[in-house]
Structure 1
């Protein structure tokens, strides 16, 4: 059988399974696309109607259903520019059914609930109390509804609103049997189920590799897991906000970023809970623009993200909404990692607040998702999005946070926040892929590795921002049976270390110190020597006056003291050219005197430095050794850059007490007492 025939057979088998187990709850997604282009309604509104009229497999019935849906939308969906025409029809006919977004507020002067129609443009329409108690979200941002309306103008009471709501039906599935979903899951393979979930969100899984499929799945965790704090930053056009705006009626997308504590958490004036109490997921589009009008906004958000509760006035309130932050990264990830950190697009109040960022459970690498093209959207069958949203909503009630406990335990680098984050991600992915709770050790190991990576990405950036407080980033898990410990890395950190293993060339020296930007980074010195008359030139420093002064001081020092090191070092018959590379792109350092002395001696004596070695510390104009600033943070950068041996001035020995013992254990530490001693030890000269 050919590959094409196999593919067709698999598709038809999957379709049969869908017909058998989810009859009436699936829809062909190309129908959604066709109609969506002509009507600017959310996908879940469209698919609610398609589910009513088009969930058959018979092409004739589907065509008839599509015509029906188009007619309903043409006649009943209110386009803002045709609002007056609809109002006129309502007046002429006396009654009319509209599809519109309806929001409600209490008119406390008259003690009645009044509704406002978003597209129809009418407000202050009285609404029966039962609708408000049944559908609380009408009070917060509004929901899409099918509304049967009447028009009655009373001559005797001209102040009375002539619009009457006879019946209001929110657009959502009438019922859901979660046990039916769980028992049906057993009939699908893991791959079939993942593909079905992705098609339900409108994506075509055959266009993505496994990694990208999983990244798409992770976007759904905030909808299926309570109080999940999620962040995704990446290029434009990769569908970051699509899920939270179109796929679920239980999620709200806050565009523009500006919000208030009253709107988000609790309005003390009206004593009403804000968005976090009424939605399953609150997503902020364009994180760069997030701005609270209140001074304590970020503080209350931090409190809520940590505990799922917040205090306003005299009482504490609980809520279950997940918090999602999506936004754009405008430069390449490599550049961002070298010059700053991956939270840089956040507003300053958040990006410099390590306590806020530490509350994020998952950082999705949006740059790994390809920019969307037409073929990435599916034409195949998936769940009606409203049905799928209800499945996710129902699954929020259970947790699989302990799914891996039977097989694995987490390594000792994870603190309590890390463990909570990993458990929540594991729980969310298990619910998405194995809603029936049936999974193997291999299944849960794959999920656990993914969860550890998503949390480690947060921790790696916190280490850059907060320093040694977050040094323990080597996340691992241990197998209960074999006691093997596996470490999980993040791909963008890369395996290519700045300081390579093995012996380097004479004149090549590495040092680590603070650059102009205030960050600590790696600098490589490369020295060349030719016959000449003692000229010394340097490149790579630019116009940095302090750096120039530092390398010139080194050359002057060698002119005066070179013979103490070796008679082979000549500053009269040789010319030297030095190039300095700022490997992290953080701006030039002024701590270059001692590394330059070692580099000149290395080239002059034709001896390379020790393999994987870094020289820390510096030399003053008077020849005094200067100890290392922020030793712990500097050593952490050495480790991350691939250093195995570190030369440290003996004066810095007292500061080793500030360095975690696990970090000290990563290096062969070599102490030196003077510039000459540093040269001998760096070059391995006895």
Structure 2
């Protein structure tokens, strides 16, 4: 008989098994670092470096953190102060995200760093720094940048990134120390949620938010009312995840800028999240939907045929929907009705792997957030992303799951297998799983998420009604 899992017993086991890779999630809210607009994967790294411990931070620890932040973590409105210090000849060290851009034209070819939080967009950077940290050329990196003012402008003279050390095999081995109930609770705590505040079904839907991290090209839509924390995870999990919230979304931003040759977000990030898609401003929507259909189908990015590349990026779309008095979507079963018209095209919807029914998750309250020990966000995010290269689960689901019916639709089968593989990686990273567990925790949720996509297609387009309305499967 399994022992009862309690917050205290789980906290003890997490600390014992993962050691310095774990952190008390209560420390971040009490640190006031959230007021500095830094994501959790940065703030937890900083806290553990300065004031390792457990429980809400003490007044003395808070003073130490604030002193460090005042020295090295300037507010965005202090950019002019930083520039003035550089003008005065000071060497300035700041914790900030850094990206490197390349300029090539007939007159000049050079690379330069961009520190956008400080308003510094043309900082000189050495070849050695760029060669040492190639991610500066992709999604950019957070780290401590050393800056100095020169006659030619501002120069980045040194860079020390915050980086987690990822050992996927060690992660898998350590996961065997936990029961499934404990492991799911640890995952949710690491995501920033309080597992004791949610039902088992709600926990599964929350874990589905991790799917785009562990699988390549797993494109998904989540529909939920406001206040369910749809974007909370994505803005705090990894620098390789880019959340787009507000502003204009253009073909150049998503795909490639044909004028400069600069690849867009889908080429440079592992996961791109479009938040509140019903309110985003899309420039040239027909060009965007045409480019997205090609990308979602085969992972190829192009625009006008000038440039072409492949990408394993997963696209996530988050949308707020209105519920009725019974907390059901008012447009059920046509759930996509509140999306922009061009996103309701069936050829586009079909290419989404699944729809997460976020309306079935309770709205977040003060009790919904993590109260105990979880994995550090930087380590957790990087480990999840490293699972993309492990194809063991993909091979298992491909040979184990078989859809059945009079006439099968291949994209349904592909989607169910991919989602089930992702759920297996998340919940059973060690690969030890029974048939019952595989069916209940992996295949059933995968079918549910894909069935919601299939229902939209069935309603919107008679072409799909030549296939069975319900997705059925066998496990071999």
**TM-score, structure 2 as length reference:** 0.89
Moved more, 111-120 or 297-306: 111-120
Q: 2:404 aligns with which of 393, 403, 411?
A: 411
Q: Does 2:183 match 1:193?
A: yes
Q: Does 2:458 match 1:467?
A: no
Q: Does 2:250 match 1:260?
A: yes
User: 1 CA distance for matches of 2:269 and 2:158?
Assistant: 24
**1:588-636, Cα deviation, whole Å (9 max, x unpaired):** xxxxxxxxxxxxxxxxxxxxxxxxxxxxxxxxxxxxxxxxxxxxxxxxx
Q: Any idea what SS the aligned residue of 2:235 has?
A: helix
Instruction: State the shift of 1:281 in Å.
Output: 0.4
User: 2 CA distance for matches of 1:375 and 1:39?
Assistant: 23
The equivalent of 1:247 in structure 2 is 237
Q: Which runs of 5+ in 1 are unaligned?
A: 1-5, 155-159, 481-686
Q: Any idea what SS the aligned residue of 2:96 has?
A: strand
Q: Does 2:41 match 1:48?
A: no
User: 2 CA distance for matches of 1:56 and 1:331?
Assistant: 42
Q: Does 2:422 match 1:431?
A: no
Q: 1:92-131 residue pairs with structure 2 within 5 A?
A: 94-108=90-104, 109-131=107-129
Q: Does 2:364 match 1:368?
A: no
User: 1 CA distance for matches of 2:156 and 2:472?
Assistant: 59
Q: Any idea what SS the aligned residue of 1:181 has?
A: helix
Distance 1:299-1:123 versus aligned 2 partners, 3 A rule: closer
User: 2 CA distance for matches of 1:86 and 1:243?
Assistant: 31
User: 2 CA distance for matches of 1:475 and 1:209?
Assistant: 25
**1:147-176, Cα deviation, whole Å (9 max, x unpaired):** 122234x4xxxxx11x33221233332x21
Q: 1:204-219 residue pairs with structure 2 within 5 A?
A: 204-219=194-209
The equivalent of 2:288 in structure 1 is 297
The equivalent of 1:166 in structure 2 is 157
Q: 1:388 aligns with which of 356, 369, 380?
A: 380
Q: Any idea what SS the aligned residue of 2:120 has?
A: coil
Q: Does 2:67 match 1:71?
A: yes
Distance 1:416-1:55 versus aligned 2 partners, 3 A rule: farther
Moved more, 215-224 or 284-293: 284-293
Q: 2:443 aligns with which of 448, 452, 459?
A: 448
Q: 1:349 aligns with which of 327, 335, 342?
A: 342
Q: Any idea what SS the aligned residue of 1:359 has?
A: coil
Aligned residues: 462
The equivalent of 1:308 in structure 2 is 299
The equivalent of 1:504 in structure 2 is none
Aligned partners of 1:14 and 1:192 also within 8 Å: yes
Q: Any idea what SS the aligned residue of 1:166 has?
A: strand
The equivalent of 1:489 in structure 2 is none
Q: 1:647-662 residue pairs with structure 2 within 5 A?
A: none
Aligned partners of 1:204 and 1:378 also within 8 Å: yes
Aligned partners of 1:257 and 1:287 also within 8 Å: no
Instruction: State the shift of 1:65 in Å.
Output: 5.5
User: 2 CA distance for matches of 1:89 and 1:73?
Assistant: 17
Q: Tell me which of the two structures has the higher relative contact order, counting C-alpha pairs closer than 8 angstroms and 6 or more residues apart.
A: 2
Q: Any idea what SS the aligned residue of 1:123 has?
A: strand
Aligned partners of 1:48 and 1:386 also within 8 Å: yes
Instruction: State the shift of 1:137 in Å.
Output: 5.0
Q: 2:270 aligns with which of 277, 280, 284?
A: 280
Aligned partners of 2:15 and 2:373 also within 8 Å: no
Aligned partners of 1:232 and 1:365 also within 8 Å: yes
Q: Any idea what SS the aligned residue of 1:244 has?
A: coil
Q: Does 2:322 match 1:330?
A: yes
Aligned partners of 2:139 and 2:240 also within 8 Å: no
Q: Any idea what SS the aligned residue of 1:197 has?
A: helix
Q: Any idea what SS the aligned residue of 2:339 has?
A: coil
Q: Which runs of 5+ in 2 are unaligned?
A: none
User: 2 CA distance for matches of 1:450 and 1:145?
Assistant: 38
Aligned partners of 2:25 and 2:372 also within 8 Å: yes
Aligned partners of 2:79 and 2:118 also within 8 Å: yes
User: 2 CA distance for matches of 1:222 and 1:453?
Assistant: 17
Aligned partners of 1:354 and 1:462 also within 8 Å: yes
User: 1 CA distance for matches of 2:408 and 2:38?
Assistant: 44
**1:424-443, Cα deviation, whole Å (9 max, x unpaired):** 10111111111111111111
- Which entry has the higher C-alpha Rg, 1 or 2? 1
Distance 1:441-1:222 versus aligned 2 partners, 3 A rule: same
**TM-score, structure 1 as length reference:** 0.63
Q: 2:28 aligns with which of 25, 32, 45?
A: 32
Distance 1:468-1:112 versus aligned 2 partners, 3 A rule: closer
**1:105-149, Cα deviation, whole Å (9 max, x unpaired):** 234444222223223223322011333345455446644331122
User: 2 CA distance for matches of 1:427 and 1:253?
Assistant: 24
User: 1 CA distance for matches of 2:230 and 2:7?
Assistant: 28
**1:37-88, Cα deviation, whole Å (9 max, x unpaired):** 432211111012123234445x799876654433221221120222233344
